[in-house]
Amino acid sequence: MSGASVDRETALSEEPFRPAGPTQGFLRGTVLSIRAIAGQSELLRLLTGRELKARYKDSTLGFFWSLARPLTMLLVYYVAIGKFLNAAQSPTRNPNGIPDFAVFIFAGLTAWQLFSDIVTNGTASIVTNSGLIKKVYVPREVFPLSVVGSSIVNFGIQLVVLAGATLLVRNFPTGSRWSYFVLALAVLVVFSTALALLLSAINVYLRDVQYLVEILIMILFWASPIVYSWHSVDGALHGLIKDIYLANPMTQVVLGFQRTFWVSGPSSSYPADLQMRLLVTLGISVALLWVSQRIFARLQANFAQEL
């Protein structure tokens, strides 16, 4: 026996046995899962890079395409709703008018795009990577998480454009407005990651989920004040329905984004206790993320044979 193999033997004899694959169990499993995922940060980074590089590889304009979609949507909504439906008017001329309409819409669209990217691509991520999952064991959470990573990079680019737009209208957000942004972004990332984890695992067993998600995303877009203002909802909805509308995490996130970037918005454009609501939602989202991860860990045991 060579020296290296003796070293190996002594080192291994002190190492305890561990089960092959993921650990079940609620609390202990959480700690081990987090440790396992943290140990794969390098892989996570590379997978994120792969998502980004591979998406627009061989196209001449490359990353520009990740901007093309939100910018086109902005243009469409600006023309259709802003101009044709007269939403883009100053409140002095039209009580329901929205000043700096382009900034208003783009703030909401940027938040929504991140949500929709994470949830739609995240849901499909396990099935898309089935080739890898069937052949190699890595903590499978890395696949939805790499979608989160690449979506955040795209989001960052849009954010730069959004910030540029606020400069252009000479209304760059300052001071305490940014606290809304941090809070809203935290809710957005945690909440959508939780959904992505949960749905990606369910999608392995029920492939319908990914198509259902696409449709729900389309409907839910209109359930948040992205292209219309909270002001008009405030007047139209009452009581319980209004509470339900406001409890939607994405409504709060979109409002938080608008509160940050849409500086010219009047205070009637937001519910009074937005900050408190966001904090509560953040707490719930963290709990949801934990539950999702546990369900994911439970379901992933049979991923390889179901794919």
Partner 1 sequence: MALNVVEISNVSKRFVIHRDKSLKERVLNRSRDRRHKQDFWALRDVNLDIELGSTVGLVGANGSGKSTLLKMIGGIHQPTTGSVRLRGRLAALLELGAGFHPDLTGRENVYLNAAILGISRAQTDRYFDAIVDFSGIEPFIDTQVKYYSSGMYVRLAFAVAVHVDPDILLVDEVLAVGDEPFQRKCMDRIRGFQAEGRSIVLVSHALDQVADLCDRAVVLEAGQVRADGPPREALRVLREDFEETRRHDVEEARRVSRRTRTEPAPSAEITAIDLVSDGAPRDRATLTPGDDLTVRVHVTSTHALDDWNVGIALNNPLGQMVLGTNAVMLGKPLPHVAGGSVVEFTLPGLMLGEGSYSVDAAISFDGLTEADRLSEGAALTVVASGQVVGYTHVANPDVNLVEGQ
CA distance 75 to 66: 15
25 touches partner 1 by CB under 8 A: no
Tell me the window of 15-23, 60-68, 93-101, 156-164 that interacts with partner 1 (CB under 8 A): 15-23
Nearer to partner 1, 4 or 240 (CB): 4
207 touches partner 1 by CB under 8 A: yes
What's the closest the beta carbon of residue 8 comes to partner 1, in angstroms? 5
Tell me the window of 36-44, 170-178, 188-196, 213-221 that interacts with partner 1 (CB under 8 A): 36-44
Q: Which residues 106-135 are close enough to bind partner 1 by CB under 8 A?
A: 131-135
What's the closest the beta carbon of residue 3 comes to partner 1, in angstroms? 10
15 touches partner 1 by CB under 8 A: yes
Task: Provide long-range contacts, Cβ within 8 A and 24+ apart, for 23-32.
Answer: 23/297, 24/297, 24/298, 24/301, 26/294, 29/294, 29/297, 30/290, 30/293, 30/294
Q: Which residues 138-197 are close enough to bind partner 1 by CB under 8 A?
A: 138
Q: Name the nearest CA neighbour of 278 among 305, 239, 250.
A: 250
Nearer to partner 1, 18 or 93 (CB): 18
Count how many Cα atoms sit within 13 Å of the Cα of residue 142 in the half-sphere of its side chain. 26
Tell me the window of 39-47, 109-117, 178-186, 261-269 that interacts with partner 1 (CB under 8 A): 39-47
31 touches partner 1 by CB under 8 A: no
35 touches partner 1 by CB under 8 A: no
Count how many Cα atoms sit within 13 Å of the Cα of residue 20 in the half-sphere of its side chain. 2
What's the closest the beta carbon of residue 205 comes to partner 1, in angstroms? 8
60 touches partner 1 by CB under 8 A: no
Nearer to partner 1, 20 or 240 (CB): 20
CA distance 44 to 145: 7
CB 137 within 8 A of CB 224: no
Give 235-286 as a DSSP string.
HH--HHHHHHHHH-HHHHHHHHHHHHH-TT--GGGS-TTHHHHHHHHHHHHH
Nearer to partner 1, 77 or 143 (CB): 143
28 touches partner 1 by CB under 8 A: no
Q: Name the nearest CA neighbour of 188 among 290, 265, 119, 125.
A: 119
What's the closest the beta carbon of residue 42 comes to partner 1, in angstroms? 5
CA distance 221 to 219: 5
Q: Name the nearest CA neighbour of 279 among 243, 253, 245.
A: 253
Nearer to partner 1, 55 or 177 (CB): 55
18 touches partner 1 by CB under 8 A: yes
CA distance 255 to 273: 11
Nearer to partner 1, 132 or 237 (CB): 132
CB 148 within 8 A of CB 189: yes
Binding site for partner 1 (CB under 8 A): 1-2, 4-6, 8-9, 12-13, 15-22, 40, 42-43, 46-47, 49-50, 53-54, 57-58, 131-138, 206-208, 301-302, 304-305
